[in-house]
Amino acid sequence: MDKTVNIAEKLAGFDEHWAPRRIARINDYEVKAAKIQGEFIWHSHEDTDELFLVVSGELTIRLRDGDVVLGPGELYVVPRGVEHCPVAEEEVSILLFEPAGTTNTGSAGGDRTVEPVDA
């Protein structure tokens, strides 16, 4: 990488919810910025863990055995194969860390599946 990445600037560059933007790569992983609001879908990633880092707002990650609530500066790793459903009552800005090529809807697929674009 030949320059620094300003996370706030990257997040200010788009308004769409549930449409991750690739902002960096590290080895075989991508760092994605996203804005989310409302409820996503229940899904899992059979082959990889997924790291959520909250930049602003409050994110609830619903799990079948209880919810995880995250505020700014907090992160949670959803273990591979664990079904989860991100929910944000108000807009939340997050960073995701996951292997390149990871589908946002995991094994669920469907019309909420999007390919990340570069920010």
pLDDT value at residue 116: 65
State which amino acid sits at residue 66: G
Instruction: Round to whole Å and give the CA distance between 108 and 59.
Output: 21
pLDDT value at residue 109: 64
Six token digits for residue 64: 């079948």
pLDDT value at residue 51: 95
Residue with tokens 């669920």: 108
pLDDT value at residue 113: 65
70-77, Cβ contacts within 8 angstroms, sequence gap of 24 or more: 75/51, 76/51, 76/52, 77/49, 77/50, 77/51, 77/52
Predicted TM-score (pTM) of this structure: 0.89
Six token digits for residue 46: 């059979």
pLDDT value at residue 101: 77
Record: fold of 7-104: Jelly Rolls (2.60.120)
Residue with tokens 């995701």: 96
Per-residue pLDDT of the chain (119 residues; tens, 9 = 90+): 568 999 999 999 999 999 999 999 999 999 999 999 999 989 998 999 999 999 999 999 999 999 999 999 999 999 999 999 999 999 999 999 998 877 776 666 667 666 666 77
Name the phi and psi angles at 62, rounded to 5.
-80, 130
Residue ranges per structural domain of the chain? 7-104
